[in-house]
Amino acid sequence: MNWSFLENVLSGVNKYSTVIGRIWLSVVFLFRILVYVAAAEQVWKDEQKDFVCNTQQPGCENACFDHFFPISQVRLWALQLIMVSTPSMLVALHVAYREHREAKHKRKLYQDKGSIDGGLFCTYTVSLVFKISFEVGSFARFLLPVQRL
């Protein structure tokens, strides 16, 4: 993987981010990805290996396991990571697009490179609303009762 590309994109985003946005980005990308990669795969590597079904009927073990654990924790965390990271990536892509346009035209197209204005402001606002709603939704799933099938 080309880490310099990721570093350039993140440094481009940091020019336009607030302090809270930088902290949020660090928490999402560093903490969540490290926990997901280091812990989740090792802890839940083979969830079904130690599951015991009380019948010998073929396919029963899979059906019982799916009934007791309808959603895999690893997949749920991966889905949450993708949902929370996607709005940040859209802002990063918008910033990269702005910088690419300036390089293509070989002149400054924007007055202040560090200000959030126009389309970038809309992208950032929509990103923030989606991130907050995804986080609230992820938290709310723990408050809702789960019905058995």
In a domain, 77, yes or no: yes
Q: Which tokens is 68 given? A: 């007791």
Is 110:16 a contact under the CB 8 Å cutoff?
Answer: no
The amino acid sitting at 133 is: S
Predicted confidence (pLDDT) per residue in 16-30, tens digit: 666 776 677 677 667
Is it the case that residue 89 has pLDDT exceeding 60? yes
- Lowest mean pLDDT, pick from 25-34, 74-83, 87-96: 25-34
Q: Give counts: helices (H), strands (E), the chain.
A: 7, 0
In a domain, 145, yes or no: no
Residue range of the domain that includes 54 = 3-140
Q: Which tokens is 131 given? A: 């991130």
Cα 40 to the center of its chain, rounded Å: 15
CATH number, domain with residue 64: 1.20.1440.80
Report how far residue 105's alpha carbon sits from residue 91's, in angstroms, rounded to the nearest whole number.
21
pLDDT of residue 85: 76
Is 45:70 a contact under the CB 8 Å cutoff?
Answer: no
More confident residue, 11 or 138: 138
pLDDT of residue 11: 63
How many structural domains are present in the chain?
1
Provide the whole-model pTM.
Answer: 0.54
Averaged pLDDT, 123-136: 83
Nearest to 108 by CA among 117, 99, 119, 121: 99
Is residue 116 within a helix (H) or strand (E), and if so which, with residue range? none
In a domain, 38, yes or no: yes
